[in-house]
Structure 1
Amino acid sequence: MKVSEALSSRRSVRGFLDKPVDLDTLRRVLAFAARAPSGGNVQPWNIVVITGEPKQVLVNAVALKIATGEREFPEYTVYPEALPDPYRTRRFGVGELLYANLGIPRADKAGRLAWFTANFRFFNAPVGLFVHTPTYMGLPQWADLGIYLQSVMLMLREEGLDSCPQECWVTWPETVRRFVPIPDGHLLYTGMSIGYADPDEAANRTNAERAPVDETTTFLGF
């Protein structure tokens, strides 16, 4: 698979087949992804991969908290509070596209909330992945984490697998820490669902548009 093919076919998959993912495949993906660049070769990523009973115990624990109306405090804010355009339009546009594919109108608040909670089942993916990093890491290292995650997702495509990066998991840091070995002094950066995409899942028809190059890029000296 060419890099261009991996990039064009990668998307946030929100419905997975009930098909296990081989451990050797995951090891191979993570070994290649570790070739991602990082400033000073710091490699600030720390990974926990979870499946089977441990994953189900975590999912059940979060489901219970959601059902009882409990909340936890995220360890960082995912989006700026006053996100201006064009970023705000892009963010809400992909959400509306997703719910349109699902047939859940804006007025159906309960339906949208119920769908959102599917995040915390990893969208029924067989594998979950968490990334954590020391709290003293700065913005350059956070950029390194993004490069690493992109490398993971592209390598998953080469193996015929799909994924969904899920920063939403940072809203349950205490519960995640109960079941996932994240050491003190480390921050929960993100989660990710991994598996084989379900071709019949309506949500998987969502393919968000990207801004054209001339909208985001200035060329000088050409």
Structure 2
Amino acid sequence: MNSVHYQQEDGHAVRASVTDSVAEVVDSVMRGRAAVRRFLDRPVDRRVVTDILDVARSAPSNSNTQPWRVHALAGQAKDALCAALGDAHANRPEAHTPCYKHFPDVLGERYAARQAAFGAIYYGSLGIDFDDTARRNIQTAQNFKFFGAPVGLIFTIDSSLERGSWIDYGMFLQNIMLAAKARGLDTCPQISFVKYHEIIRQHLSITPYETIVCGMSMGYADPSARINALGLPREPVTAFTSFLGFDG
């Protein structure tokens, strides 16, 4: 395995050669990660899930507060939660309110445009017309089955913590998704679970002092599913970065 070497030029460290190995592997894992919404019926061993969480816990957190708590579900425990969530979504969705808002009431123009583009690609891959509310609702219900994944994860945080700890949590979640991908597994982070936080709280004995952050599906992606190959566009670096002081 080669390493990346640096040399000094005019008192500055300059990258002399991007040789291969580590950077290429890490970049490949990061670029290869994508939300998967159809999984194979193939179990995932508890030891693999433990290994993924073990490496993910190396995520940084302010003052090493480590604000994450994970509820890992499989088998009958997952099926029972899925059944309860599916029933609520099918029969009493209006009775439930998310425990926090993911987006503002009015989404900014640039974000709304990206959201609309995603919806067109997403539902288009399923052959669902965006105006077909009934079929869209059926597809949304797949969230609460963890899209058929053998492992479901529910994440909670101490409700007293502020935005900084949620930033820490995001890095932990990303670590999980990358560690899973590096082991041949795929994931889908899901904000949809926060609507049914009361049901989840009852099933998992979550204390009143915790807030549900999100859920996540984990398993082996179905390679034949078109929905798993959306190829969503990303803005180029120049669109979101200002470089200052680099010239010369």
Same fold? TM cut 0.5: yes
Amino acid at match of 1:20: P
Aligned residue pairs total 222
Structure 1 residue 169: Cα displacement? 0.2
Corresponding residue number in structure 1 for 2:198: 174
Amino acid at match of 2:132: D
**Within the alignment, does 1:27 sit opposite 2:50 as a pair?**
yes
Q: Where do residues 153-164 of structure 1 align in structure 2 (5 Å cutoff)?
A: 153-164=177-188
Stretch deviating more after TM superposition (137-146 or 59-68)? 59-68
Secondary structure of the structure 2 residue equivalent to 1:105 = coil
Structure 1 residue 92: Cα displacement? 2.2
8 Å Cα contact 1:48/1:181 also seen in 2: no
Q: Pick the structure with greater CA Rg.
A: 2
Q: Where do residues 47-196 of structure 1 align in structure 2 (5 Å cutoff)?
A: 47-70=70-93, 71-196=95-220
Q: CA RMSD in A?
A: 1.1
Structure 1 residue 41: Cα displacement? 0.6
8 Å Cα contact 1:16/1:125 also seen in 2: yes
TM-score, length of structure 2 as denominator length: 0.87
Structure 1 residue 2: Cα displacement? 1.5
Q: Which consecutive aligned stretches of 4+ in structure 1 deviate over 4 angstroms post-superposition?
A: none
| Alignment partners' CA distance in 2, 1:169 and 1:113 | 15
Amino acid at match of 2:193: W
| Alignment partners' CA distance in 2, 1:180 and 1:93 | 36
Structure 1 residue 108: Cα displacement? 1.8
Stretch deviating more after TM superposition (163-172 or 84-93)? 84-93
Structure 1 residue 69: Cα displacement? 2.8
Unpaired runs of at least 5, structure 2: 1-23
Corresponding residue number in structure 2 for 1:16: 39
TM-score, length of structure 1 as denominator length: 0.97
Amino acid at match of 1:68: N
8 Å Cα contact 1:15/1:124 also seen in 2: yes
